[in-house]
Structure formats: C-alpha cells, structure tokens
Amino acid sequence: MTALESLSHWRLERDADGLAWLIFDRAGSAVNALSADTMAELATVLDALDAQPPKGLVIRSGKSSGFIVGADVNEFAELTTPEQGRALVARGWNLFNRLAAVRYPTLALIQGHCLGGGLELALACRYRLVEDAPGASLALPEVMLGIFPGWGGMLRLAEVIGAPAALDMMLTGRGADARRAAALGLVDARVPPRLLLAAARATVLSGKPPRRARGLGAWLNRWPLKTVAANRARKQIAAKDPQVHYPAAPAIVEIWEKHGGNALQAPQLIDGIIASDTARNLLRVFRLQERLKANGRQAGAAPVRHVHVVGAGVMGGDIAAWCALKGMTVTLQDQDLARIAPAIKRAATLFSRRLKDPRAARAAFDRLVPDPAGGGVPLADLVIEAISEQPEAKRGLYQTLEPRMKADALLATNTSSLSLETLRVGLAHPERLVGIHFFNPVAKMPLVEVVHADGIADATLARACAFVGQIGKLALPVKSAPGFLVNAVLAPYMLQAMRSVDEGLSPATVDAAMVAFGMPMGPLELADTVGLDIARAAGQELAGGAEPPRCLAERLARGDLGKKSGRGFYEWRDGKPVKDKAGGPPAPAGLAERLIQPLIDATRERVDSGVVADADLADAGVIFGTGFAPFTGGPLHYQSSRST
C-alpha cells in the first residue's frame, strides 16, 4: 500500500489533463476540521506532489457541510504547556508556508463555511473560488475564542485584501458571504454551483498572477504606514475593551505589525494567550454554544414550512419577519391591516439589510403575507401567539385557533412570564402547547427559550427545538416557571441596580461599573430598553410583591417608560441614551460584584429547582440571553472560579 492509499481523510485524484484534485473528507466527522492527523496526511500529499508535480492542484471538500470549519478546537482544550502551544502554531504555520511555496498553481474551491484554519489554508493557495450560494461564509473568527489566526492568516489576509479590511475581519471575527468576499478581493470570483468545477479547472490553469491588495490598503501593509494602521486599531480596541478583558485582539495587532504575522517570533504572546483564563473560558462558551445548537438538531422532527403568527406588535411582527427571512412562508394576523403595516415596514428594512441581493430580499418579502382574517391558520405547521400578556385573552384566542389547526401543527406562545399550566386550561390538546420565547430585538438575540410543562408531548418539545434550530437560533429547553431562566435572573439584577440609584448613585455610574465588568450594556440602560413597565411587572412577580425601588416608581408615575417613551433612567435621542458623565458620588469599591450577585444567585436557584437541566446550560442561557460577559465563562462558572 502506498502512502496515498493509506490516507484516511484526504483523497487525491489526477485527471487526463494532469490536474490534481484533492478532496478533504475527514473520517468519522460531519464536518471538516484541521487536526494533527489530518494535517500530517496533508503533508504526505504534498510529498507525493513534490515527487510528481501536477499542472495544477484544486483543493475541495468532500462534505456537504462546507469546506473547512477551522482547527479542531478539542486540541486547543488539551494544551497544558507553553511548548505544546508553540508546537501547535508551528504545525500550521510551517505546513501552509509549504503549500504557498509549491511550484504548481493551487486553488481552494470553497463551498459553505471556510473558517479559521480553513481560510488560512485557502489563503495559502494561489487562487480561491467561492460557490455563489446561501451559507457561504469566509472568516477568521479566532478572536472570538480568545486566540489568534497563527497559521498564516495574519500575514496573508492583509496581503490579499489590504490592512484595514483584514484587521477588521481579524479583530471582530465577522465573516464575509460570497458576494462580500468577491467585493473584498478575498476570492477571485463567486461562481454558480453548476459551473464550479469548470471554473476551478480554468482558473487554476490560467496562469494569472495571484490577487493582491492595491491602493491605500496595500500601502498600509508597509512601514511607516503600517504603524499608523496598527495604532488606529489599538485605539478602537481600547475604546471597546478598556479593561483588556480580551487580550487576543491587541496581540493580533502586535503580531501583524511587528512580526510580519508570524506568532512564532513572539513566543511570549503565544504562551500568554493560550494560557489565559479568557481563552479557556471563551472555548467553554464555544462548546456551550455547540450544545445549544445540538438542541436544534432533532432527528426525525418534521421541518416547519409555514408559520402563522398572531399579533403584529414589535415581537410578533419581528418573529414573523425573521421566519420569512429564513425561508418560511409566514402569515401575520392582527385585527386589521393598519396594525400589520408597521411590522411589514420593519420587515422590509430587515430584508434589505440582511439580504444584499434585491431579488432575495424581494423573495423574503413575498413570503411574508398580511393575514388579518387568519386564513393561514389551517395551513400552518406552527402557530405562534404573540399578543398581550393577559391570560384570558390568550386562552380566548386559543379557543378560536385550535379547532382550525392541522392535527399535527404546533401551538406556541411567546409569553415572557405566564405559565403554560395557566394558558393551556381549556385546550382540547394541552400536550401540544409549547412556549417559544424570543428576546428583543429578535434579529440580534441568538437565544430562544423553549418552555415546557409537565405532560407536554415529547414530539412537541423536539419539534419546537428543531424549529428554533431551523431559523438559526439557539434552543434552550426550560421548564415553565415565573420568568423561565433569562428574565428570572435579569429582574433581581436590574432591581439591585435601581436600589443603588435610590442610595444616591447616578444611573450612569451604576451602568459604567457593569460595562467595565464586561457586560454589553449596563442594567439601567437595559431596563430602559426593555421598558420600565415591563421591568416592574417582572420584578413584582419574581420578588413576591415587594415594593418596587423608589426611582422606578417615580419614573412610572411620570409616564417615563424608557426608550419607547423617550425618557426613563436616561433621555433617549435617535434611539440612544444620553448619559451625563459627571454628577453624584463615585462608584463605591465592589459595586459590580454587589450588582451581579443577585443574578448569580438567581441562576443557581433556577438550576437547583430544575427550571434548566444543569449549570452549564444555565451559563449558556444567561450568556446568550443577556450578553453576560463571555470571557468569564458564565455566571456560575465565574462564581466557582472565584472561590477556588
């Protein structure tokens, strides 16, 4: 058996024209990830091609799931010494440098996801083509795991698309779809699926020079302008993360500016990043996210093709728009067209922003059908109720919906506070009522709580979770209880912040303490965003009827409801809070810890009472449902790490 015949993950084929086709199909995995053994086999392939060089080499995926999702994250988790970290970086750096230096032309044929180490491999090829289809995503998301793209990405991405665009991609982790990748010059072309193989053959044999950045983007790769670009990036990083909770971002800038993208020349940075708590905690968050994604993959669950939403307010309208964006037929019901119109207008804005192709945006718009008479009910696979939080009104609506629904359709409520036990009274089939609780804004918040009560059919819960996965959200099963998980932990956190205002601290001081802690916004800005009336209702239900904080009661008495009324704890202008930087006493020592403790305690209570299955899922829910500082690993993980 030859070395090539013994390969488990790669398959090399040569055609009559002397072109070599290398197919990556990692054994025993649904996706292609770069691990020690797959990379060792790639080195074996390059040995064989050195001995018998082809006219050209095309690298493509043998999996429908995409090109390469990146490096095997499990190998990062197993690193225990600085030497192991440096060896891992050297493995990819040296291998991809070797690929970049081969004598024959090379091409990466990209379909679907091309992430992290996968994009670094593609950048080491002379040419890149991307399939012009939904789902294509090219990114270097390592910073989101608290690490850096150490296998040549920091060098080659800037060479190909210029320093500003490259730094933006590396420091945010944001991806580019096929259209944007072509516009950036990251790929040579985007190609329709039917023409991929022919285009790959023609491109790899074309003899064209490889793509390189031009103009200012190219000049910013060179000294002294390189220093200008690096300093600008540092200022942006400092503005977003003044406490340096995320050290990978400044490390990326330093390695790019001072070491030519070669992390091996800065071993102290490798050691510091890989050994950091931030990297380990962000890897934990990544695994928690994968666990939530797995909840959305329910084998045998019938897909939802038609959704009927009742209630065209902010939540109902935006749920409907999101489902249409994700390819479903959606009928949106309310009392009349005038109530539905604002939701349709918001949907049009969402479609045009998310779907750059006007034809795709138009198709999504056509899938969203105003339906004041409720004609979509008998056709829907899923009916979602999103009306006001009044049990009698919801139960009355169910009485009219249930007889008209298909026998196998799901009935769901988007309630944020009411128990399913209360709502299902009077239903002929109470076992098929499920909570599917979205968060505002629907388009931005990744988590959806799937609420179940005793007696719910297993198939109902599974299909509801599968629907959440189908629309690209993270499904968290929770038991029916006041506030479920997310609202139950947010309420005491916001109330504690309000009591601090009662004690004389300014709202801006309170919020600044929590932003410095690592939260995406402070608790009082969050309360304004949610609505102070809603915050009061949640607080009353979860606080056993205790008196609300004085500062909250005063604002509600004046009709100051937060963002939606233009004034709450802050004055709101153009959708943003106006914050006074001065005024009031300074923040006392330990303020952030005092504010966050009620949230941690409430999270623990939700686990102990069985609302959420375990502590890891609770951490996942609070991170993705509230934005709780990801670098901590979640509230319960944060508390346990402080006590050890």
User: 518: which 2 tokens?
Assistant: 């690592």
User: 577: which 2 tokens?
Assistant: 């809070």
By CB atoms closer than 10 A (0-12, 13-18, 19+), residue 53 is: middle
Q: How far apart are CA 367 and CA 618, in angstroms?
A: 35
- Quick one: DSSP state of residue 536? H
Which strands, in side-by-side order, build the sheet including 474-479?
368-370, 329-333, 306-310, 382-385, 410-413, 433-437, 447-452, 474-479
CA-closest candidate to residue 256, choices 165, 353, 181, 188: 165
Task: Give backbone dihedrals phi and psi of 128, rounded to 5 degrees, phi first.
Answer: -140, 130
Of 13, 41, 83, 120, which residue is the catalytic one?
120
Using CA atoms, how far residue 132 sits from 191, 196, 235, 359, in Å, is 5, 9, 36, 14
Element (H, E) at 384: strand 382-385
Q: How far apart are CA 563 and CA 574, in angstroms?
A: 10
CA-closest candidate to residue 128, choices 49, 181, 65: 181
- Quick one: DSSP state of residue 543? T
5 is an active site residue:
no
Q: How far apart are CA 12 and CA 20, in angstroms?
A: 7
By CB atoms closer than 10 A (0-12, 13-18, 19+), residue 209 is: exposed
190: β partners: 130
Output the CA angle 623-624-625, nearest 5 degrees. 95
554 is an active site residue:
no
Q: How far apart are CA 342 and CA 361, in angstroms?
A: 18
Instruction: Give the DSSP letter string of 393-442.
Output: HHHHHHHHHGGGS-TT-EEEE--SS--HHHHTTT-S-GGGEEEEE--SST
- 249-253: which pairs have CB atoms within 8 A and are 24 or more residues apart? 249/143, 249/171, 251/148, 252/143, 252/148, 252/149, 252/154, 252/167, 252/170, 252/171, 253/167, 253/171
Q: Helices (DSSP H) in 583-626: which residue ranges?
A: 591-608, 615-626
Q: Output the CA torsion 280→286→292→296 (10° steps).
A: -160
**DSSP strands (E only) in 480-590:** 571-573, 576-578
By CB atoms closer than 10 A (0-12, 13-18, 19+), residue 74 is: exposed
- Pairing relationship of beta strands 10-14 and 19-24 according to DSSP bridges: antiparallel
Of 41, 142, 385, 525, which residue is the catalytic one?
142
CB-CB contact of 474 with 292 (8 Å):
yes
Q: How far apart are CA 323 and CA 300, in angstroms?
A: 21
Q: How far apart are CA 571 and CA 566, in angstroms?
A: 6
Task: Give backbone dihedrals phi and psi of 108, rounded to 5 degrees, phi first.
Answer: -100, 120
- The residues annotated with a catalytic role in the active site are 120, 142
